Structure 1
């Protein structure tokens, strides 16, 4: 018996050891199989770390589980900056036998543990999840067989950003699981899921924010008909529970819905959990009572021409809630709401609220509302109530704020809105706020005597009889009073008559109503009256408009998260007339830069009251020192922040004269800056703008055009007088790229240069886009310690010094497609006459030809020996030898050689034997023709490279056009991080890519 136990135990141990060892024995084969399938299936960058791959047969025996740490997929262009998916851990289950011995591996399970998925769809429909190869491009088809019966997701985040639909959804901390026979055409899939709904935004409207979602149901999947049916299940948002039954089908491009939903076991407290700001830590302690019923249906076809019918109803009876530790409740809450549409046309939607009432403490509010459709908007409703604002702080928790006053509202409306027939509902609405008082506990002064009296009236329903009369508006803050009024009559003509007078201390207002990350101080005093008609604005009859008065600003200071540099206005005064606003005084400091201004603005009423109108003006701007860099960086506190494209408004037409003692731009220090500028249709133009810089004087005329922010353009005519060559090299990237020899030159230069091209997103010229032509004049310069000179002297032995003195140079240059072409010019190299031509590429490459005439005797002993051996010739030590040198490589690492690959000895022998000067000319002509042929080939290659660089930069810049939506996505991601405060993910190891 003992022997049998030992045998059985040994066999069990052998099996156990085999199971443990099996994954390791076949690990390479399994990884190779995974590699192969990824390569054949996914057209994207896949990263994972080989050292974080493990295999086990115990996690889902008898399947084998492959676990990969830090797995991710990064999309191809134009999504190369977006990580489609990143997983802290990915577990994939396989049928072991199919991997080791079969031709078709069987995938049986997927487990996602930690990570995120970012789905992005562009306006044109391109999506970053489209990463599979088109069937005709697959070199070797994948032969995975799907036998999945389990999908698990743990602690996962999802951002769905569909810009073609203007839809954004952010889900966080997703927990989900589903089990079923995924290989069948029709199968049941039990599903469980919970997540935090960070945001759900459609066409700019946020429908859900910071809600906890949970759901449990059985989903019947019919893949043949693309039909997904929900069995009875339970779903919830916060404490609001509901059931959902029916199906969604997508057999064609249309989507068919047949869904019914209803609340389950809900109370009035359940619906309160969806109210923003109420579902907090102490929500469980909220005292409530009352009942709630919710149900609805959604049925029909959704496509471009049809919308499903729907019927949604909400009923609240005898609702009450009271915050713990506060003495008064909100009670007698009764709401009957029904939103209904029995057709497939969304415009036939009706909204009916026959009952709406509640009581804030002792103050009742009641009303009703009926909207017949979204075509003629027939409506009938009323709202009536009185609020004692002092009681609100005893109902709602308002920390650090005291509020008092009586708010009285009485409004009713009945009729239809039809702009074509000039009709609108008959309206009678009164709003009165008396004895208003607001005080922040952290500030000793209160906003007092707050009064608002408003009337909206239209007894006939005709647009000419429409009246909005804000007959009184005012408040007092530490003995400083603001009073105003505004009356609007005739909804068609939009006549207005208003005034505002008084002084407001912005610092005190901000102390009472604080704004996060914002500081503000200063006083604004105004006395303005305005009267006119919008019809006169449309007809450009500005003489009929009467706006006049004055406004002044003193000791104003403002900073915010978006404007960390800050703005200060010491004093500013403006007078208003119907024609213009005259800026009589403006003394300010923008960031670190003092700025004074005067001038006027015209067409301002048209600009304010109508779309697509242009604000015109003439300004004189003066500054003792203006730092442009402050306004071109993302953050003034970051020394390494990159310059960004400055966009210009297209609806501004300004003429400006500018004078500045000093301007800081990038690494340039510009002094005595003067000139005229015009900003019109989004283009900034310069006229006779002059400045002292780089040791000389710069005068320019031209334009900066950022209307296409992905490829802003510049076009300048430059007159550069007596500029320092070393300073130009140190300060100008263009000089560094196209004239690297300048780093070893001393002296000054002059030029008239036409200079145009595109700017990158860092506001620096894109070298490959530059077009320029001009004549560079150098009266005297010295070239020292240059690798080029060293290369020439070491090759020719003509001179042993590494210094060249240059005089009276006139160098014609032309830049096209990122290539600086230097047309032939004459120069004296040491004591020898030379002619130089060639080009420098934007990539740093050089290609030059130097044709020199050197007396034979200057070549020393080797020339003398050859002269002695050639008897009977006219050759002597004064015979001119044509020397042609090729300069290639880069300036930092030049390649210097004799044209044609000759040696000095061969060059001398051929030249001396020629004896005839005409043959000498032929030699140089042949060399020059060979050089030009080679240069043409180099130029073609550089142009292709330049086009590729510009195309790449253009595509990079296009991403910035979506910056607003990208920011919304980032805010959603930030919301996830802020709400959940997870540990930062480990940086992925990209040592393995497929």
Structure 2
């Protein structure tokens, strides 16, 4: 017996050890397989650490589970700045038998634990989830076998932003689990899910916000018919419980619905939990009573031409609620709502609210509303009630706020709205707010004498009989008062006559109505009169419009979490006339930088009141010292830029003048220029500045009308710039002209750039074209590895320093490679010709052809001259020396292009000189160099298109574009 126990225990221990060791045995195999499947299937940037893949046999025995930590997918352009998926943990389960014995593993489960999913669809339908290889481009077919029977999601955030459908959904802390035979064409799927619905908005209308959702149901899946059925289930939004049954199918012509839903064990308390602001921690102590019934259906085909029929009903009887620590309730809540459409045409929707009444404390409010359809808009409605605002705070808890005043509303409407027949419902509505009073604990002085009187009337139902009369509006705050009026007549012409006069202290208003992380103060004074007709606006009769007056702002200050630098306006004045708004004075400080401005806007009424109109204007900006660095946050270096879209309906000119601009490590003096924005294209004219010891001038355009391929065209003139300062300041110089680190002196240049920008606002190197001339008046070049290498190779003396005078260097940039055309220069005392190229990665490839007198080579040349009988060569004979420079500037490869040693080169050259073949040698060397250079350029082009770090010049261009946008 003891022996049997020991044997059994031994077998158990062996099996246990085998189970523990299996993950280690197969870890490399599974990790390599996961990596290969990702590479074969996903055409996007996938990030994860293969060393952070762990395996376990115990998480879901008898399956073996692989867990990957911190895995994510970043989309392809134009979504390269968006993370499609980030998972804190991803667990995939495999059939253990398939891992050990089969050629290909069988996937059995997927578990997502923590992370986020961001789905984005642009207006043109381009989606960031389209990351699989097209059929003709697939790297390899996946050999994973699918036998998934469980999918589990835990604590995942989901954002779905569909700009084509104008649909936005944000869900937080999504939890879901489904178990079923996913590989079958028909199966049952028990599903549990819960989430926090942060926002659901469709076509600008918000439908749900800040609601908790839970649901559990049994789904019936038919993949052959693409039909998804829902059995009995329990669902809840906050405390509102409902059932949901039927099916959703996906035929070719649209989406088919047959859904029934209804309230489940609900009371008036349930519907209150959906009211914004009600579902708080104190909701549990709320006293309620009353009944509620909710039910409806949604049935039919949704397509481009049809809409499902529906019938949604909500009924509330004898509703009551009261917060326990407040003296007054809301009682006698009765409401009957029915929204119905029995056809496939959405225009036939009717809205019926025959009953709506409630009591706010002792103040009754009642109403009704009926809308027959969305074609003729036959309607009838009424709303009547009086509300004591002081009683309102005894019903709803408004901490730290005191309200007073009487609000009286009495409105009726009946009739039809028909814009063609110029018919609107007959309306008789009055609203009166008298002796309004608002005080908060944040500011001791109240807003008082708040009075509003408004009337809307149309007794005949004709548009020309319409009247909106806001005859009184005003309030006082300490010593400041503001008042206004507005009258609108004739609904078709929309004649208006209004005025506003007074002053508002913004600091006091913010104290009464605080906004988080915002500081604002200042005084705004206005005295404006406006009179006109929208009909005159439509027909361009602006001389009939009369808007005039003035507005002043003084001692204004604003700062927020998004604008921590702060903006201060010491004084600003603007005059209004029908033709234009004149900014006569604007004295401000943005951050620590003083800014003054003057200018005007014209066509502003047409721009505001009518579509497709162009706003025109001019602005002059002046600053004694503008510090750009304080507007570049610490995170800005890591934040990806996106293409700046420019408005096409603005025709604006702005002149800029600044005595000094601080940007990064550059101190720019006498900055000036003119920026023009028209038809969505930004033009730079006569932009200039003193910097780097010289003068910089810019002219060019930025054209983002095609957002997928924005263009730029820039002309740059550089005069007397310090070579040393340019190298220290500009990364572009460091990349394209590393030789500048050993040069002293100044240079001039005329360059023209053009090309296409990527979605990160960086030039696409494969599209870059640049051409120009670099002029060096006088410079010294010394103490470099290149010079030391040339000295060592040629045995020439005095080659550690070169003096340049009046050198012109033609350069051209193509595909991220700077090509230097052949140019003549004196190197030391020798005539030379230089040509070659520098890649953006720092690689160099140059040929130097020099003419060196034979006597400069010393004894070795004299010996060779004496050994060649009958020659006319002597110490003054010019020897062609070709030097090839490769590698990179800090680690150059220097060699003789015409021989493997200086001795062989001298012997060959002297003998060729006798035969007059000097020119042939130079031609052969140059041809060989160009052939080798073409090969190197191809390699450089491949690497240059992969991108490069931003240079200071590029950052400066980004600043100019951002400045214009702001």
Q: What is the TM-score normalised by the length of structure 1?
A: 0.89
Once the two structures are superposed, the pairs formed by residues 884-899 of structure 1 within 5 Å of their partners are 884-899=882-897
Structure 1 stretch 677-686 or stretch 426-435: which is displaced more?
677-686
2:926: which partner in 1?
928
For residue 683 of structure 1, report the CA deviation from its aligned partner. Answer: 3.4
User: Judging changes above 3 Å, is the alpha-carbon distance between structure 1 residues 700 and 403 closer, same or farther for their aligned structure 2 residues?
Assistant: same
Structure 1 stretch 133-142 or stretch 277-286: which is displaced more?
133-142
CA contact (8 A) 2:71 2:90 kept: no
User: Judging changes above 3 Å, is the alpha-carbon distance between structure 1 residues 465 and 947 closer, same or farther for their aligned structure 2 residues?
Assistant: farther
Aligned equivalents of 1:105, 1:882: Cα separation in 2:
69
Aligned equivalents of 1:232, 1:646: Cα separation in 2:
51
1:575: which partner in 2?
575
1:654: which partner in 2?
652
Alignment equivalent of 1:871, drawn from 869, 872, 877: 869
Alignment gaps of 5+ in structure 1: 961-994
Alignment deviations for residues 652-694 of structure 1 (CA, whole Å, 9 cap, x no partner): 3233443321123343322123444433333343433343222
Structure 1 stretch 521-530 or stretch 297-306: which is displaced more?
297-306
Instruction: Report whether the alignment pairs 1:284 with 2:321.
Output: no
SS in 2 for 1:537: helix
1:345: which partner in 2?
345
Instruction: Report whether the alignment pairs 1:812 with 2:810.
Output: yes
Aligned equivalents of 1:800, 1:883: Cα separation in 2:
16
For residue 762 of structure 1, report the CA deviation from its aligned partner. Answer: 7.3
CA contact (8 A) 1:72 1:84 kept: no
Once the two structures are superposed, the pairs formed by residues 638-787 of structure 1 within 5 Å of their partners are 648-707=646-705, 713-757=711-755, 769-787=767-785
Aligned equivalents of 2:446, 2:915: Cα separation in 1:
101
Q: How many residues align?
A: 948
Alignment deviations for residues 508-551 of structure 1 (CA, whole Å, 9 cap, x no partner): 11111111121111111111111111121222221111111111
For residue 568 of structure 1, report the CA deviation from its aligned partner. Answer: 1.3
2:844: which partner in 1?
846
Aligned equivalents of 2:446, 2:684: Cα separation in 1:
51
SS in 2 for 1:514: coil
Aligned equivalents of 2:519, 2:329: Cα separation in 1:
37
2:4: which partner in 1?
7
2:902: which partner in 1?
904
Aligned equivalents of 1:761, 1:117: Cα separation in 2:
22
For residue 26 of structure 1, report the CA deviation from its aligned partner. Answer: 6.9
CA contact (8 A) 2:657 2:672 kept: yes
2:73: which partner in 1?
74
Structure 1 stretch 12-21 or stretch 414-423: which is displaced more?
12-21
User: Judging changes above 3 Å, is the alpha-carbon distance between structure 1 residues 219 and 460 closer, same or farther for their aligned structure 2 residues?
Assistant: same
Aligned equivalents of 2:89, 2:175: Cα separation in 1:
14
Aligned equivalents of 2:652, 2:689: Cα separation in 1:
22
CA contact (8 A) 1:300 1:308 kept: yes
Aligned equivalents of 1:511, 1:892: Cα separation in 2:
62
For residue 651 of structure 1, report the CA deviation from its aligned partner. Answer: 2.9
CA contact (8 A) 2:235 2:241 kept: yes
Alignment deviations for residues 305-356 of structure 1 (CA, whole Å, 9 cap, x no partner): 2221111100000001111201111111111001111111222111111111
Instruction: Report whether the alignment pairs 1:21 with 2:18.
Output: yes
User: Judging changes above 3 Å, is the alpha-carbon distance between structure 1 residues 770 and 100 closer, same or farther for their aligned structure 2 residues?
Assistant: closer
Aligned equivalents of 1:164, 1:642: Cα separation in 2:
24
CA contact (8 A) 2:696 2:719 kept: yes
Aligned equivalents of 2:235, 2:592: Cα separation in 1:
57
What is the RMSD of the two structures over their aligned residues, measured on CA atoms?
3.1
Aligned equivalents of 1:772, 1:142: Cα separation in 2:
46
Once the two structures are superposed, the pairs formed by residues 114-133 of structure 1 within 5 Å of their partners are 114-123=114-123, 125=125
For residue 614 of structure 1, report the CA deviation from its aligned partner. Answer: 2.2
Structure 1 stretch 85-94 or stretch 884-893: which is displaced more?
85-94
For residue 875 of structure 1, report the CA deviation from its aligned partner. Answer: 1.7
Aligned equivalents of 2:752, 2:93: Cα separation in 1:
66
User: Judging changes above 3 Å, is the alpha-carbon distance between structure 1 residues 84 and 674 closer, same or farther for their aligned structure 2 residues?
Assistant: closer
1:166: which partner in 2?
166
2:259: which partner in 1?
259
Structure 1 stretch 71-80 or stretch 356-365: which is displaced more?
71-80
User: Judging changes above 3 Å, is the alpha-carbon distance between structure 1 residues 445 and 145 closer, same or farther for their aligned structure 2 residues?
Assistant: same
1:55: which partner in 2?
56
SS in 1 for 2:444: coil
Alignment deviations for residues 461-497 of structure 1 (CA, whole Å, 9 cap, x no partner): 2222222111111111112111111111122222111
User: Judging changes above 3 Å, is the alpha-carbon distance between structure 1 residues 320 and 902 closer, same or farther for their aligned structure 2 residues?
Assistant: same
CA contact (8 A) 1:24 1:55 kept: no
User: Judging changes above 3 Å, is the alpha-carbon distance between structure 1 residues 527 and 596 closer, same or farther for their aligned structure 2 residues?
Assistant: same
CA contact (8 A) 1:565 1:636 kept: no
Aligned equivalents of 1:26, 1:892: Cα separation in 2:
49
Aligned equivalents of 2:383, 2:274: Cα separation in 1:
24
Aligned equivalents of 1:185, 1:193: Cα separation in 2:
23
For residue 375 of structure 1, report the CA deviation from its aligned partner. Answer: 2.1
SS in 1 for 2:418: coil
CA contact (8 A) 1:456 1:468 kept: yes
Structure 1 stretch 397-406 or stretch 667-676: which is displaced more?
667-676
**Higher RCO structure, 1 or 2 (CA under 8 Å, sep 6+):** 1
Aligned equivalents of 1:25, 1:542: Cα separation in 2:
84
CA contact (8 A) 1:49 1:70 kept: no
Aligned equivalents of 1:470, 1:921: Cα separation in 2:
95
CA contact (8 A) 1:40 1:139 kept: no
Aligned equivalents of 1:833, 1:719: Cα separation in 2:
29
Structure 1 stretch 404-413 or stretch 227-236: which is displaced more?
227-236
CA contact (8 A) 2:873 2:914 kept: no
Once the two structures are superposed, the pairs formed by residues 181-580 of structure 1 within 5 Å of their partners are 181-580=181-580
CA contact (8 A) 1:734 1:767 kept: no
Aligned equivalents of 2:609, 2:438: Cα separation in 1:
32
Aligned equivalents of 2:82, 2:696: Cα separation in 1:
44
CA contact (8 A) 1:37 1:142 kept: no
1:976: which partner in 2?
none
Once the two structures are superposed, the pairs formed by residues 80-95 of structure 1 within 5 Å of their partners are 84-95=84-95
Aligned equivalents of 2:133, 2:615: Cα separation in 1:
53
CA contact (8 A) 2:306 2:345 kept: yes
Alignment deviations for residues 243-264 of structure 1 (CA, whole Å, 9 cap, x no partner): 1222222354532221211111
CA contact (8 A) 1:109 1:151 kept: yes
1:861: which partner in 2?
859
For residue 735 of structure 1, report the CA deviation from its aligned partner. Answer: 2.6
Alignment deviations for residues 892-932 of structure 1 (CA, whole Å, 9 cap, x no partner): 22222211443211211111112348411221122223223
CA contact (8 A) 1:350 1:373 kept: yes
CA contact (8 A) 1:552 1:572 kept: yes
1:980: which partner in 2?
none
CA contact (8 A) 1:768 1:950 kept: no
SS in 2 for 1:727: helix
SS in 2 for 1:282: helix
User: Judging changes above 3 Å, is the alpha-carbon distance between structure 1 residues 442 and 247 closer, same or farther for their aligned structure 2 residues?
Assistant: same
Alignment deviations for residues 255-300 of structure 1 (CA, whole Å, 9 cap, x no partner): 2221211111100000111112111112110000000000111111
CA contact (8 A) 1:237 1:274 kept: yes
SS in 2 for 1:173: strand
Once the two structures are superposed, the pairs formed by residues 606-625 of structure 1 within 5 Å of their partners are 606-625=606-625
CA contact (8 A) 2:719 2:749 kept: yes
User: Judging changes above 3 Å, is the alpha-carbon distance between structure 1 residues 918 and 869 closer, same or farther for their aligned structure 2 residues?
Assistant: closer
SS in 1 for 2:608: helix
SS in 2 for 1:915: helix
User: Judging changes above 3 Å, is the alpha-carbon distance between structure 1 residues 71 and 24 closer, same or farther for their aligned structure 2 residues?
Assistant: farther
Aligned equivalents of 1:375, 1:600: Cα separation in 2:
45
